Amino acid sequence: MKRLMVWEPALAANDKHTLISSVAESLAWQGVVPFGEQDALVEALVAREDLGNTLIATNTAIPHATCPAVTEGAFVYVKLAEPLLDWSEGAAVDRFVFTVVPEQPSADDGEAVKRFFTSLADDAVLNVFSTGSQESVTQIFQ
């Protein structure tokens, strides 16, 4: 399962849709979703977000989706320089761990997703994802 980290990117992602679209485009460049099919991934992520809040800390969200256009699973950690104010009402969210998998993920991808989400139950791990330095996040994310 691919793991990508984007720390304070130069992109001007000042709203939820722009960030989701940027992540989908990055995943196309990484071969996770074919070029021209990023919109399907954007729709899947937006649809999941519309179901309910994915905040795991006051500044950290874990947007996730399955999508038939996705060819392999991926985690994408994004730390923005400026928080998004439209991610969740009343929250300033600047850290995200996107998880995308095919509709039928491989056994390895399924196990990686299970291990990752189980690790979030550990307060120390969650604290690093929500407040840690780039170095400390890299150590536990990779």
| Type of residue found at 35 | F
Identify whether the C-beta of residue 73 lies closer than 8 Å to the C-beta of residue 112.
Answer: yes
Span 46-79, pLDDT tens digits: 999 999 989 999 999 999 999 999 999 999 999 9
Q: What is the pLDDT of residue 99?
A: 98
Residue 75 has a pLDDT of: 98
* pLDDT at residue number 14: 85
The 3-state DSSP class for residue 133 equals coil
- For the chain, which residues score pLDDT lower than 50? none
| Contact of 108 with 116, CB cutoff 8 Å | no
| Superfamily designation of domain 2-141 | Mannitol-specific EII; Chain A (3.40.930.10)
**Cα(120)–Cα(15) distance, integer angstroms:** 25
Quick one: 57 exposed, middle or buried, by C-beta within 10 A (0-12, 13-18, 19+)?
Answer: middle
Within 31-70, residue ranges assigned H as helices are 38-51
